[in-house]
Structure 1
């Protein structure tokens, strides 16, 4: 089975090719650049370098969010298009789960991957490896990092934090958790697309037409539009 994985859900752009138990190739950058013009050339170049043709692909695995609204949408749209065109299964995996898998495999504790969501908020969840398998302890959610830290304190065990946005919120976790908090090294922060491929390799394919990203919240522009229209209706009603 040859799996192509795609992750554009945050600044990190990653694509990988997994052939059975062998990682044939992997491409990662962590740049604030337009994923929409870079991801397809990255896929094409990786497949060319690895001597893989589109017809050789068995499954497409995509990071489905949470993360950047635009980034998540780009990755999911491309993944759905490829899966539909090639008539092969499509699998979506939590972007946070991929982040947790990147550095937590041999950590004896629980893992809290995070992405910054602005205004003191983070996208996060709680994961743990058990016998080589990553399990979800708490589903992905959006909340203030100042509210998340006390909840983690109740775990009474080591917590591994991972994610490129960690420096924004690190001081809060250090203050509340002290030695209970463990922070991944900078070389472990980028979510690995090969981990994404591995997670999705054995999962059942999803319905391509009904598959949607997991934004967790509406895009800010959409939220503001809904709020403005609600206020406008209330004014007209009065």
Structure 2
């Protein structure tokens, strides 16, 4: 199976191509300005060239469905659906927190807590065990000094682009705050392969991103 993977839930615009569980090429860039609309299709083209395959060789497209950036998710899902419609191939979706949690599996933690920035002191988060299995519901959580106190005796990995702002607030003696890690298309491969084998596909016509919260437009700062 040959799968195109698209991850745009954060400021990291990431594309990979895999064949039978092996990554053939990865193109990604972290952009503070969310330049996904300009870069995504170029990254897809570069990934295809790097993998030395054509679009017609793809068996499926896998996309990060969220939660995360409203604009980033909309761009990634729209592109994925376009490829699936045009090529008549199935669509696979993955949770962006699960993708992020994959970076810390099998590292000896009791819990893995991926956190994606939702602005101010709010984060999108969920809990995973050391094997990457989700063990709590996804939520939009406002952080304060009482957050996650029930995990004070656990060896917990906090990871994601919300770690920097959460570290000074959370008083957890056994926690590790792992900065500089973002959801990446390279972490999608094993998860997507499993869903492909089990034929867990989305309805391309009706599939929408998982925003978790309603989008509220703000006034652009000058």
Give the TM-score, by structure 1 length: 0.84
Distance in 1 between residues matched to 2:20 and 2:186, nearest whole Å: 12
Aligned match of 1:198 in 165, 190, 198? 190
Task: Summarize the Cα distance change of 1:157–1:14 in structure 2 as closer, same or farther, 3 Å threshold.
Answer: same
Q: Which residue number in structure 2 is paired with residue 54 of structure 1? A: 55
Displacement after TM superposition at 1:15 (Å): 0.5
Distance in 1 between residues matched to 2:136 and 2:58, nearest whole Å: 33
Q: Which residue number in structure 1 is paired with residue 205 of structure 2? A: 209
Q: Which residue number in structure 2 is paired with residue 182 of structure 1? A: 176
Q: Which residue number in structure 2 is paired with residue 219 of structure 1? A: 215
Query: Is the 2:63–2:93 Cα contact (8 Å) retained in structure 1?
Result: yes
More helix by share: 1
Aligned match of 2:155 in 142, 153, 158? 158
Distance in 2 between residues matched to 1:76 and 1:56, nearest whole Å: 20
Note if 1:102 corresponds to 2:103.
yes
Displacement after TM superposition at 1:29 (Å): 1.1
Distance in 2 between residues matched to 1:148 and 1:122, nearest whole Å: 11
Q: Deviations over 1:11-69 (max 9, x none)?
A: 01110111113111111211123201110001001101211111111111111111111
Distance in 2 between residues matched to 1:152 and 1:218, nearest whole Å: 29
**Matched ranges for 1:46-85 at <5 A:** 46-85=47-86
Displacement after TM superposition at 1:89 (Å): 1.1
Query: Is the 2:24–2:50 Cα contact (8 Å) retained in structure 1?
Result: no
Query: Is the 1:120–1:144 Cα contact (8 Å) retained in structure 2?
Result: yes
Distance in 2 between residues matched to 1:213 and 1:101, nearest whole Å: 20
Displacement after TM superposition at 1:151 (Å): 4.1
Distance in 2 between residues matched to 1:101 and 1:214, nearest whole Å: 19
Unaligned regions of 5+ residues in structure 1, if any?
225-238
Distance in 1 between residues matched to 2:201 and 2:52, nearest whole Å: 25
Unaligned regions of 5+ residues in structure 2, if any?
none
Displacement after TM superposition at 1:85 (Å): 1.2
Query: Is the 2:21–2:193 Cα contact (8 Å) retained in structure 1?
Result: no
Q: Deviations over 1:142-165 (max 9, x none)?
A: 011225322433xx4211000123
Aligned match of 1:168 in 161, 165, 170? 165
Query: Is the 2:161–2:179 Cα contact (8 Å) retained in structure 1?
Result: no
Distance in 2 between residues matched to 1:2 and 1:95, nearest whole Å: 21
Note if 1:17 corresponds to 2:17.
yes
Give the TM-score, by structure 2 length: 0.90
Q: Larger radius of gyration, structure 1 or 2?
A: 1
| Structure 1 segments (4+ residues) deviating >4 Å | none
What RMSD over aligned residues (CA atoms) do the two structures have, in Å? 1.8
